[in-house]
Structures are given as C-alpha cells and as structure tokens.
C-alpha cells in the first residue's frame, strides 16, 4: 500500500527544486497534493505531469507572505493531513550587505510564509484529529555559513518554530519536524553560479560540490524521500526533531 494513500498534502513552493521533488514523490505515494506556488508558469507543468502519471494534484497560485490569501486557500482545500513548509528565497551577503529591504523580503517569504501556513493549517488539523508538519530548515540554522546572514536568520526561525509547534500540539496528534539540507543541486544553484561566476561554471560547481565531505551536492529526490518518511505514518513516534541531510557537513566538515 502507498505510504501516503488518501492523505491531503499542502506543499508550499511545490513547483520547483526540492518542492517539486516532494510534490511528485508524495503523489506517487498516493497523496492528494496541493501545491501553493507563486510561479504558475513553473508549477503548472508539475501538476500536469503528476496528473498524467495517474496522481492527484492541484495548483493554487499563492503568495505565502499574504496571510489572507493562504488562509483562504487552506479553508478552500478543507481537509489537510500534511503540511510541508518548503517555500523560501535566498540572499547572499553579510549584515553590512543586507539592507532592511533585503531582510524584510527574506523574512516575509521564509518566516512569515511558514507562519501563515501553520496559522491556517493547525486549526484544520485539530478539527480533523491530527496531522504531520514538516518545515524545511537548513544547516545554516545550526552552523555559521559565510555571507548568509538573512537566510541563516530565517532558517533558525524555522528550526525554532518546528519545536514550538511540536510541543504545543502534541496532545492534538499533530507531529512537527524539520529537515536541514546542505547544498542541493537545483535550478537555483545553476542560476546562482551562472550569474555570479560566468565562464567558471564547471569550476565553481565542482568547488561547491566538494564543500560537502561526501563530495557532491544532494539530489532533490533524496530530500523528498526523507520528507516522505517523516510525513508518513511510519514516523508516527517522531516529533520535535530536526534531521540534517547534509553529506556529513555539520559533523565532519573540520
């Protein structure tokens, strides 16, 4: 039997990168997938691919930083068994290179966006007898990463919010965990390298890959498999934890 059969799953930012891999795997495992994504052009083909493969998926064009919009969509969906807070943006720079506008933009999407989804979904899960929440944190929440001030701030908040939700809603049969990836090979990484290191793409890709002790970046599909386990009933005794998926970065990078 499929691991997520008949479960309704909301995946924010589910139209690209890690979110796409999670959306596709969850659908393969029987979930009714609801993708909340601002970029319809990117996300719509993902939904079409899932449906053409026999899965269930629906796109809700949504700015996760808009609380009213998120709440309206969650209420429209109705039953929610799984929430994956994946939507996020990056920022490169230390505090001197992080303007107030940069800080607010990262906070609005990465932190307030997760808050908005949690705020809307928790009452629905309580009414339905429980659920599973997974928040995408990062190794940047627990180790110092150069020139990632705003991004690290946002992922530290995600890490803390996950624990708070786990503690507050344990009696409501709501589990909350987070996962902390190291660098993952997504279109964002390719775009970042092309923009900042033109003509040195192959060299920089190799350098960034080797920054993980395991010698390569993660694949989005590898992150999705951990997400699927933590959101499935197989993980029914797991809550209030963060799981690094980092190729040895946190413990072995010395």
Taking only the tens of pLDDT, the chain with its 254 residues reads 589 999 999 999 999 999 999 999 999 999 999 999 999 999 999 999 999 999 999 999 999 999 999 999 999 999 999 999 999 999 989 999 999 999 999 999 999 999 999 999 999 999 999 999 999 999 999 999 898 999 999 999 999 999 999 999 999 999 999 999 999 998 888 887 888 788 999 998 999 899 889 999 999 999 999 999 999 999 999 999 999 999 999 998 76
DSSP 172-220: GTEEEEEEEE--B--HHHHHHHHHHSTT-HHHHHHHHHHTSTTSSPBPH
| Residue range 8-183+219-252 in CATH 3.40.50.300 | no
CA 112, chain centre distance (Å): 14
pLDDT value of residue 254: 61
Strands ordered across the beta sheet of 82-85: 56-61, 32-37, 8-12, 82-85, 131-136, 174-181, 242-245
Which tokens belong to 45? 């083909």
pTM for the full predicted model: 0.94
Active site residues: 151
Per-domain boundaries in the chain: 8-183+219-252
CA 178, 183, 188: angle at the middle one, nearest 5? 105
């Amino acid at each position: 039997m499929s691991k997520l059969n008949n479960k309704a799953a909301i995946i924010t930012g589910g139209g690209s990168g890690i979110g796409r891999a999670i959306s596709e795997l969850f659908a393969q495992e029987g979930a009714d997938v609801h993708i909340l994504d601002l970029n319809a052009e990117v996300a719509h083909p993902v939904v079409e691919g899932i449906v053409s493969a026999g899965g269930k998926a629906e796109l809700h064009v949504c700015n996760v930083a808009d609380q009213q919009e998120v709440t309206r969509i969650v209420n429209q969906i109705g039953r929610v068994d799984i929430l994956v807070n994946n939507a996020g943006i990056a920022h490169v720079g230390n505090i001197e290179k992080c303007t107030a506008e940069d800080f607010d933009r990262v906070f609005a999407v990465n932190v307030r966006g997760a808050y908005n989804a949690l705020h809307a979904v928790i009452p629905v899960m309580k009414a339905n007898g429980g659920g599973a929440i997974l928040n995408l944190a990062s190794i940047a929440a627990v180790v110092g990463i150069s020139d990632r001030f705003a991004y690290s701030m946002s992922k530290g908040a995600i890490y803390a919010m996950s624990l708070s939700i786990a503690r507050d809603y344990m009696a409501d049969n709501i589990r909350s965990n987070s996962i902390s990836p190291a660098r993952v090979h997504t279109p964002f990484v390719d775009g970042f390298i092309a923009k900042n290191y033109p003509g040195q793409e192959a060299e920089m890709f190799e350098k960034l890959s080797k920054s993980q002790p395991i010698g390569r970046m993660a694949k989005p599909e590898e992150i999705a498999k951990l997400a699927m386990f933590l959101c499935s009933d197989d993980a029914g005794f797991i809550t209030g934890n963060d799981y690094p998926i980092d190729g040895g970065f946190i413990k072995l990078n010395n």
